[in-house]
Amino acid sequence: MAKLILVLGDQLSPALPSLRDLQPQDRVLMAEVASEASYSPHHKQKIILIFSAMRHFAAVLQQQGINVSYIDYQQKVSSLTEAVAIELARYPQLDQICITECGEYRLEQEILSWQQQFQRPLLLLEDDRFIATKAMFQHWAQGRTQYRMEYFYREMRRYTGLLMHNNQPVGGQWNFDASNRKALSSKQQLPNILKFEPDDITIAVIALVKQQFASNMGDADSFNYAVTGKQARQAFLHFVEHQLPLFGDYQDAMQLNEPYLFHSICSMYLNCGLLDVRWVCQKVELAYKEGKVPLNAAEGFIRQLIGWREYVRGLYWLLMPEYKERNFLQAHTALPSYYWTGDTKMRCMQQAIGHTIKYAYSHHIQRLMITGNFALLAGLSVDEICNWYLAVYADAYEWVELPNTLGMALFADQGVLASKPYAASGKYIQRMSNYCKSCVYDVSETTSPMACPFNALYWNFLERNQTLLSGNARMQLSYQNWFRKSAEERLQITEKAQQLLIHLEQL
Ligand code: DLZ
Ligand code: SF4
């Protein structure tokens, strides 16, 4: 049997299951195609990262003597299905189609149609680049009424043995988040992430993207991310040395004009396959064992990967396609245009969106507590917001984006992911950042003309959703605080919020 092996743009791992058992008669196909590049209006840097990393990956396979067909974007192939059809017409002796399972439900449906369409067996291999198989997650989820990440995470610690000693968590605790919520002081020296000068391949891709995707969000010329596995590993080791020691402490902090702080940005490399999750976790554990990083940093980081990342993937495949239709709070308001331009007076939003436009990146607290929180409070359309997150971040594929946005940020899944909505007023943003100091709005005000919009919107969020949320035990304190206000004050806040919602576009 001779296999046609399709390798996708987020499967750029030498240890990919479909590349393991390669025979001399097999062919690898990689294709830059219109449907994948435009099913979402991807940020320019996301496309550059994927196309450039695909081209580098294909070149390495070719150097190893593997038969590789590479279809580039200029060949104007409409979809992966068309790419497979072209390849099978060219090499009719390929009598089996092989692929590692993909990361999105919509593409899985397309792939599943190939067996019949091409009259060849389809070999769909489990993606064991993830630690938890889909079956393992289903088994864990079975019979539970709530899927809490923390319990899944403990299973994963036991399963991997990471930061474990005699089957107990190192340090006697599973989770050190209580020490991970520090705000930054202005005296704190800030590290830099490792950046890379574009090589000839990347320069060609930048030119292509500027020409073909001119109206997509983002600045193409400032692209300087890793595009090979070697570079991504270098960037990660740089993070371990320079950023990880304080990653835990400042995980939730935000600072004016500082997009990266102590974050690794490794999600964009992990999610397209340039980094391997087990390698990354082992490097972090080793740094802890060698006394180079404290436990709260190492544990907090490893939890994001073997806990959160694996958990959202498990949930995605457990609950799709129905999950995508959920909109518990009936949020339907159109997205204000500043989500695409950053042109808003709200300093925190301008910063989070501005970083997104410039770098196809913003860190998790900017995503959750600024742009996500604002969308939650203002009742922005779940569908539009999910599409926005999928488009604008270099690390975004639906398996990871949808649960994080629809579930975690927007509470549209009625609490499958989060035990309560992550709704917060301006006070939280003031505590965790220095944004409010340079904002035209006043964070200490709620109803005055220049009051911080997050404040009235926060109270209005509670009021608007009282029937749906007031029964939630974790919302009791918020509702007590709301009803502690006089009827007159509540009315003023409601009126202010209504004005804000009418003039959302002008904020
Ligand atoms: C995101 C993306 C883009 C922009 N372009 C391509 C492409 O042209 N060819 C390809 O194979 N993959 C691309 N990808 C990644 C796929 O969309 C990804 O494999 C699916 O979304 C499943 O996660
Ligand atoms: Fe954001 Fe309000 Fe602070 Fe301005 S005052 S930065 S809008 S939280």
All structural domains of the chain: 3-125 (3.40.50.620), 134-193+243-319 (1.25.40.80), 338-506 (1.10.579.10)
Q: Report whether 253 contacts 184 (CB < 8 A).
A: yes
Kindly give the distance from the C-alpha atom of residue 357 to the centroid of ligand 2, in angstroms, as a whole number: 20
Nearest CA to ligand 1 atom 9: 32
- Tell me phi and psi for residue 504, to 5 degrees: -50, -40
**Exposed (0-12), middle (13-18) or buried (19+): which is 167, by Cβ within 10 Å?**
exposed
Cα–Cα distance measured from residue 288 to residue 476, given in angstroms and rounded to the nearest whole number:
39
Query: In this predicted structure, what is the pLDDT of residue 11?
Result: 98
Q: What angle do CA 495, 501, 507 make, to 5 degrees?
A: 110
Peptide bond into 421 cis (omega under 30): no
Question: How far, in Å, CA of 415 to CA of 429, rounded?
Answer: 23
Q: Are strands 3-6 and 27-31 parallel, antiparallel or unpaired?
A: parallel
Tokens of 158: 């036991």
Per-residue pLDDT of the chain (507 residues; tens, 9 = 90+): 899 999 999 999 999 999 998 999 999 999 999 999 999 999 999 999 999 999 999 999 999 999 999 999 999 999 999 999 999 999 999 999 999 999 999 999 999 999 999 999 999 999 999 999 999 999 999 988 889 999 999 999 999 999 999 999 999 999 887 776 788 887 888 888 899 999 999 999 999 999 999 999 999 999 999 999 999 999 999 999 998 988 878 888 888 888 888 888 999 999 999 999 999 999 999 999 999 999 999 999 999 999 999 999 999 999 999 999 999 999 999 999 999 999 999 999 999 999 999 999 999 999 999 999 999 999 999 999 999 999 999 999 999 999 999 999 999 999 999 989 999 999 999 999 999 999 999 999 999 999 999 999 999 999 999 999 989 999 999 999 999 999 999 999 999 999 999 999 999
Q: Which atom of ligand 1 is nearest to the CA of 6?
A: 11
**Short-list 362, 353, 371, CA closest to 408:** 371
Chain position carrying tokens 């779940």: 382
213 lines ligand 2 (CB under 6 A): no
Beta-bridged to residue 127, according to DSSP, are none
How far does the centroid of ligand 2 lie from the alpha carbon of residue 126, in Å?
45
| Cα–Cα–Cα angle for 475, 478, 481, rounded to 5 degrees | 150
The SS3 of residue 89 is helix
Torsion from C-alpha of 43, 44, 46, 50, nearest 10 degrees: 150
β-partners of residue 258 are 255
In the numeric block, which tokens belong to residue 197? 């000068």
User: Ligand 1, atom 23: nearest CA belongs to which residue?
Assistant: 103
> What is the CB neighbour count within 10 angstroms for residue 187?
5
Calculated CA dihedral for residues 78, 83, 84, 85, nearest 10 degrees: 70
User: How far, in Å, are 11, 86, 121 from residue 2 at the CA level?
Assistant: 21, 16, 11
pLDDT of residue 357: 96
**How many residues are listed for the chain in this entry?**
507
Q: Is 396:389 a contact under the CB 8 Å cutoff?
A: yes
Cβ-contact 59, 228 below 8 angstroms: no
Q: State the residue for tokens 């509470």.
A: 411
Residue 105 host element (H or E):
helix 105-112
Q: Supply the pLDDT for residue 2.
A: 96
Mutate to test the pocket of ligand 1, among 18, 45, 49, 50 (most ligand atoms within 8 A of CB): 50
Can you read off the two tokens belonging to residue 286?
A: 């080793």
In 3D space, the residue among 40, 42, 44, 16 whose CA is nearest the CA of residue 30 turns out to be 16
What is the Å distance from ligand 2's center to 436 Cα? 5
- Residue 371 sits at the vertex; the CA angle it makes with 397 and 373, to the nearest 5 degrees, is 110
To test the ligand 2 pocket, which listed residue (441, 445, 446) has its Cβ within 8 A of the most ligand atoms? Answer: 441
Q: Compute φ and ψ for 277, nearest 5 degrees.
A: -60, -35
CA of 72 to the centre of ligand 1 (A): 13
Dihedral over Cα of 76, 79, 80, 81: its sign: negative
Tokens representing 14 are: 């030498």
* 454 in contact with ligand 2, CB cutoff 6 A: yes
